[in-house]
Structure 1
Amino acid sequence: MKARLVTEVAGIVEASVEQVWQVLAGAPAEQGTTVEPDRHTITHQGGWWYRGEWTLSPHPDGTRVVHRVYDVAESMRWCVRPANRFFIGFRERTREGFAARLGVIARRLGCACRVT
């Protein structure tokens, strides 16, 4: 079954990809986390439906950070939306959580960041 994109949020951290990667990849890994240094990508598989991906790429102002959430349910896919109350507020909560994490990274690096 193909993964379905649920939401995506992006931002800029005004530091190099390598600096941002050191902070992001240096955080304690949760169970179900895959770190791919060559792609500057961290993937977290949680529960039966959730996969979150964080990807870094160069940007003229520093580093573009993208967080994508996918529905990867292989069975009972119809249950995902009801189980998450049709994702009411999910995008906003994801954006808020992303902004907070971006802020932590920027503070650790002593630079600015913004959600785009």
Structure 2
Amino acid sequence: MKLITEVTGVVAAPVEQVWRALVNGNPGWTVAGDHTIAYQGGWWYRGEWSVEPDPEGTRVVHRVYDVARWMRWGVPLANRFFIGFADRTRAAFEEGLTRIERDIRA
């Protein structure tokens, strides 16, 4: 597994509340460890979201991995050399944090 990008943010709520919102908001994802869920799609992509305590509440971490077992050389080509990938990942992550915060308040 090769780490492609990582983004983090903080939600002002306890870890267990954020964890429940994260799991409930991503049906079909796999629990991949203590407070970590994962989604694997296509031939190369694995996304992981995890939560951990933070002085301001809960730190949420999103990591994207290249898990290609074959045609590994094709991953950058398939993703146009990842131009703009970090920005798109950050934007999607921010949307995810907003959804978590909304779900906690509901």
Name the CA shift for 1:49/1:64 in 2 (closer, same or farther; >3 Å): same
Give the alignment of 1:1-116 within 5 angstroms: 3-30=1-28, 33-36=29-32, 39-110=34-105
TM-score, length of structure 1 as denominator length:
0.86
Task: Give the aligned CA root-mean-square deviation in angstroms.
Answer: 1.2
C-alpha separation between the residues in 1 aligned to 2:12 and 2:54?
Answer: 9
- The one-letter code sitting in structure 2 at the alignment partner of 1:46 is G
* C-alpha displacement of 1:28: 4.3
Highest relative contact order (Cα 8 Å, sep 6+), 1 or 2? 1
For structure 1, the residue ranges without an aligned partner over 5 or more in a row are 111-116
Aligned pair count reads 105
- Please give the per-residue CA displacement for 1:7-64, whole angstroms capped at 9, x wherever unaligned: 000000000010001111112424xx3114x600001101000000001000011000
